[in-house]
């Protein structure tokens, strides 16, 4: 840079972009966060229905970043065990912590609280400049810098450009990065519900005919429900309100948790899986969902985004040139090694457990019985805790 500073531009002030910026706190790197949304959407994000399942690794990272103390303790909920069910069968494969491990499987925190805590921490950083209500129209590398043309007509130059602008990133294609994009034709409906049954801190993942239901415990008689349906069915359910919605939701769950009632409303998210063919290019890197857009069934989207953002920040923190291609390549190799196996395993899992043909229903019931064996259960527990936990 002509002014002698190390400068990084980050597109997207969501969890991944904010985590990356926070991981570079205290360095001599100037970070410019570019966000389409207004400042109010970042400083006071609205409840969006989503509860994030955090691994212990992610909790430690958030503590290290000084973010965790900003989460209200009464909004932190433990996942003590997980149960996986298939169809109408009452058999459940149970996954619990190891006999010598007193920790829960993971921790649940609302997405909007994580976003707010990350923003509050980053907003106080002296090396961060936040520009809201602005988008990047064009980006190109010119010798040793990236030149950005912004939607307000201004020009910005940086040593490195980070795309953290969601799984539908508008900028990665300008750097020649193609992406596997797989719309699933299904929609995830999420929200908080009251129910009669006491789930005692157990997360339930239930693969039923034509739907997948996850129940995430928050408090006695209160959980977050994640209902995945064909998009047309999700639209029909979303159109209901009040007692009609409560009755239909109870029926969808076959009364397994008794009478259910929605606290506010259900939030809809069409499901699309994405995986970028490359994570880096010349003076350019992808983090968060822009690199890997996971299916929510294994709940690792936020965890992978956080881990990748921190990994990249550590690799370039002391680099004379933050856009050094060798360090970017190290990030890409490590992040692909961590994410690709679980991404592929998740696709296979979703394929089997959303296939309603009789032969598939029988196969997944057999898979759950096999999964209940001690060695397999231990492997599944390790998978839920994410690589690198041990």
Q: Which residue has the tokens 């039923």?
A: 208
pLDDT of 160 reads 98
In the predicted structure, residue 369 carries a pLDDT above the cut 80 = no
Confidence of residue 147 (pLDDT cuts 50, 70, 90): very high
Q: Which residue has the tokens 């973010």?
A: 67
In this prediction, residues 49-78 reach a mean pLDDT of 96
pLDDT of 376 reads 45
Confidence of residue 378 (pLDDT cuts 50, 70, 90): very low
pLDDT of 388 reads 43
pTM of the model as a whole = 0.90
> For the segment 213-253, what is each residue's pLDDT rounded down to a tens digit?
999 999 999 999 999 999 999 999 999 999 999 999 999 99
Q: 309: part of which helix (H) or strand (E)?
A: helix 301-316
Backbone angles phi, psi at 192, to 5 degrees: -90, 140
Looking at beta carbons, which pairs linking 174-180 to residues 24 or more positions away fall under 8 Å?
Answer: 174/138, 174/139, 174/140, 175/139, 175/281, 175/282, 175/284, 176/281, 177/276, 177/277, 177/278, 177/281, 177/286, 178/276, 178/277, 179/274, 179/275, 179/276, 179/277, 180/273, 180/274, 180/275, 180/276, 180/277
Fold classified for 6-73+106-181+272-350: FAD/NAD(P)-binding domain (3.50.50)
Confidence of residue 360 (pLDDT cuts 50, 70, 90): low
Backbone angles phi, psi at 224, to 5 degrees: -100, 130
> For the segment 148-195, what is each residue's pLDDT rounded down to a tens digit?
999 999 999 999 999 999 999 999 999 999 999 999 899 999 999 999
- Any bridge partners for residue 382, and if so which? none
pLDDT of 377 reads 44
pLDDT of 84 reads 85
Confidence of residue 363 (pLDDT cuts 50, 70, 90): low
pLDDT of 365 reads 62
pLDDT of 380 reads 46
Confidence of residue 54 (pLDDT cuts 50, 70, 90): very high
> For the segment 260-314, what is each residue's pLDDT rounded down to a tens digit?
999 989 999 999 999 999 999 999 999 999 999 998 876 788 999 999 999 999 9
Residue 17 or 350, more confident: 17
List the structure tokens of 378. 């231990």
> For the segment 75-134, what is each residue's pLDDT rounded down to a tens digit?
999 998 888 888 777 777 887 776 667 788 889 999 999 999 999 999 989 999 999 999
pLDDT of 356 reads 67
pLDDT of 143 reads 86
pLDDT of 288 reads 97
| CB environment 4-38: b (16+ within 10 A), e (fewer) | eebbbbbbbbbbbbbbbbbbbbebebbbbbbbbee
pLDDT of 372 reads 60
List the structure tokens of 147. 């030149």
In this prediction, residues 54-70 reach a mean pLDDT of 96
Report domain extents, the chain.
6-73+106-181+272-350
In the predicted structure, residue 205 carries a pLDDT above the cut 80 = yes
pLDDT of 200 reads 83
pLDDT of 133 reads 97
List the structure tokens of 27. 């360095």
pLDDT of 104 reads 86
């Amino acid at each position: 840079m002509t002014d002698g500073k190390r400068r990084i531009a980050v597109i997207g002030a969501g969890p991944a972009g904010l985590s990356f910026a926070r991981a570079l706190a205290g360095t001599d790197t100037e970070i410019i966060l570019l966000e389409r949304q207004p400042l109010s959407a970042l400083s006071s994000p609205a409840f969006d229905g989503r509860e994030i399942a955090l691994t212990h690794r992610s909790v430690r990272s958030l503590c290290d970043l000084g973010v965790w103390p900003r989460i209200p303790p009464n909004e932190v909920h433990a996942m003590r065990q997980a149960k996986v069910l298939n169809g109408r069968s009452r058999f459940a494969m149970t996954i619990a912590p190891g006999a010598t491990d007193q920790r829960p499987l993971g921790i649940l925190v609302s997405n909007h609280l994580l976003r707010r805590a990350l923003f509050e921490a980053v907003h106080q950083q002296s090396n961060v400049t936040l520009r809201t209500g602005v988008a990047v129209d064009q980006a190109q590398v010119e010798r040793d810098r990236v030149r950005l043309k912004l939607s307000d007509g201004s020009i910005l130059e940086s040593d490195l450009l980070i795309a953290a602008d969601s799984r539908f990133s508008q900028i990665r294609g300008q750097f020649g990065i193609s992406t596997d994009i797989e719309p699933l034709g299904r929609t995830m409906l999420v929200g908080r519900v009251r129910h009669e049954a006491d789930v005692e801190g157990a997360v339930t993942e239930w693969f039923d005919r034509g739907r997948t239901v996850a129940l995430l415990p928050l408090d006695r008689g209160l959980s977050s429900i994640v209902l995945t349906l064909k998009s047309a069915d999700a639209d029909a359910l979303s159109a209901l309100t009040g007692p009609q919605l409560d009755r239909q939701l109870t029926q969808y769950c076959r009364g397994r948790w008794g009478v259910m009632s929605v606290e506010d409303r259900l939030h809809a998210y069409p499901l699309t899986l994405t995986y970028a063919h490359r994570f880096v290019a010349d003076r350019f890197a992808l983090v968060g969902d822009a690199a890997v857009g996971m299916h929510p069934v294994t709940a690792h989207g936020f965890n992978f985004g956080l881990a990748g953002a921190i990994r990249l920040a550590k690799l370039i923190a002391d680099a004379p040139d933050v856009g050094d291609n060798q360090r970017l390549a190290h990030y890409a190799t490590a992040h692909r090694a961590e994410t690709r196996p679980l991404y592929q395993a998740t696709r296979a899992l979703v394929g089997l457990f959303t296939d309603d043909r009789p032969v598939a229903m029988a196969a997944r019931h057999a898979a759950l019985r096999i999964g209940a064996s001690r060695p397999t259960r231990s492997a599944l527990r390790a998978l839920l805790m994410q690589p690198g936990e041990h």
